[in-house]
Amino acid sequence: MSNWQELEHKYFMNTVERVPVTLVRGQGARVWDEDGREYLDFVGGWAVNSLGHCHPVVVDALAEQAHTLIQASNQFYTIPQVRLAELLIQNSCLDKVFFCNSGAEANEGAVKLARRYGKLHLNGAYEVITTMDSFHGRTLAMVAATGQPKFQQPYAPLPVGFINVAYNNIEAIKAATTSQTCAVMLEPMQGEGGVNLPDDNYLTAVRAW
């Protein structure tokens, strides 16, 4: 174990089980540790580093923005934010964007929207159906949404209103649906629970339901 890993154990809260490798640089799909060993990066920052490490376009854009304006709260308008929103809308099926810091925050926002809709239009419906072996984030509400007891048990009691059912089973979703249901939240392909692919017609059937 290197000194860096010993220092991490000394100063960090133990919230994740790390691989005993200290990475110091990356290029494209490859990373190197402090001893110069080269690895292929199949993790990609948990699926967020889709362009690889140190892509020159990304590096130049980050440097240019850092020299211009580091951060401004959402109380103000910023031009790059508006341009990005426009680009996303023009190249997707959506009509609005909500920029977040993490997947958990995005999911929290989605649940808030669903519950707000349920309150206004569905006689106060608030329950969200999710699936077993899913993963939706590490906030308390998203732990409740995540259908994995190993993540839920340490933090009980959890926020109510999340119903976990079997994945890839439209009948399970139908059976769990009540007058209190305001949304279904699931992953098109499960990752944290194993690489689980649904049947071809599953997502279409869920959307139709």
Domains of the chain with bracketed CATH: 3-68 (3.90.1150.10), 70-99 (no CATH), 103-208 (3.40.640.10)
* Alpha carbons 191 and 92: distance in angstroms, whole number: 23
Give residues with Cβ within 8 angstroms of 24, minimum separation 6. Answer: 32, 33, 34
Radius of gyration of the chain (CA): 21
* CA-CA-CA-CA dihedral for 6, 8, 9, 14, to nearest 10: -160
Phi then psi dihedrals of residue 73, to 5 deg: -70, 165
Determine how many CB atoms are found less than 10 A away from the CB of residue 2: 13
Q: If you search the block for the tokens 């308390």, which residue do you land on?
A: 140
Residue 2: the pLDDT is 64
Among 46, 41, 5, which residue's Cα sits nearest to residue 22? 5
pLDDT string in tens for the chain (209-residue length): 569 999 999 999 988 889 999 999 999 999 999 999 999 999 888 878 889 999 999 999 999 999 999 999 889 999 999 999 999 999 999 899 999 989 999 999 999 999 999 999 999 999 999 999 999 999 999 999 999 999 999 999 999 999 999 999 999 999 999 999 999 999 999 988 888 999 999 999 999 99
